[in-house]
Each structure stands twice: as structure tokens, then as C-alpha cells.
Amino acid sequence: MRLFAAERAARAEAVRATRAKSELLAKVSHETRQPVHATIGWIETLDMGLQGSLTDAQRDALRRVKQNQARLLTVLNDLLDMSSIEAGTLAVRIENIVIADVMDVVDSVIAPLMRE
């Protein structure tokens, strides 16, 4: 009987720890997204030339920053999704995709890395 009670207490503690981890991941992901979105806005402002004209090298640098920000947002969104999965609140949407569009995105991320 004592073993059963100890196992039940250990399981409840594991559930609490998992819940706390999920809540922390969700909070960190959410709070980190805001400054990333703000920097995306500033980069777009620079790219539009609202702060002055840019050289080709500067535009290329901004393009790379945008790509890395997109990757960072993907990681943050994945963390939010994981916490939603663990909480049982993830909404799933099934839709058709155009593979050529996916390949274009993959190419835009991989090609610069290949050139480097």
C-alpha cells in the first residue's frame, strides 16, 4: 500500500513539474516574440529606405537578418506548440499545400548557407 501511495505521489509531482515547464516555455516564447516582431518592423523600415538609402551589401545583410528572425520565430512558435500539445489545447488545421511553395522557402533558407 505504501509503495502505491509513493508511486501516486511521484506521478503527481511529475505532472506538476511538466505543467510548470510547459508554462515557462509558453511564457518565454510569448515574451520573446514581441521584441523579435519589433526588430522585424525596424528592418522593414530600413529596407524600404525610410532611414536613408542602403547599399547592396546592407540590403543583403538585412535579408540575412530577416531569414534568421524567421527561423527564430519558427523555434518560438514550435515551443508554444509543444506547450499547447502538453496542455491538450493545440488546435490542428489540415490544409492542402503547394510543394513548389515549400521548396521555394527551403531554397531561400538553404541557398545562402550553401554559398557560405
Q: How far apart are CA 66 and CA 60, in angstroms?
A: 10
Give 55's pLDDT tier (boundaries 50, 70, 90): very high
Which tens digits make up the pLDDT trace of 57-111?
999 999 899 889 988 888 888 888 887 887 778 888 899 989 998 888 888 878 8
Say what the pLDDT of residue 112 is.
Answer: 79
Q: How far apart are CA 82 and CA 28, in angstroms?
A: 13
The answer to whether the pTM exceeds 0.85 is no
* Topology given in CATH for the domain delimited by 2-115: Helix Hairpins (1.10.287)
Q: Which carries the bigger pLDDT value, residue 29 or residue 55?
A: 55
Residue type, 65: V
Residue type, 22: S
Show me where the domains of the chain are located: 2-115
Give 113's pLDDT tier (boundaries 50, 70, 90): confident
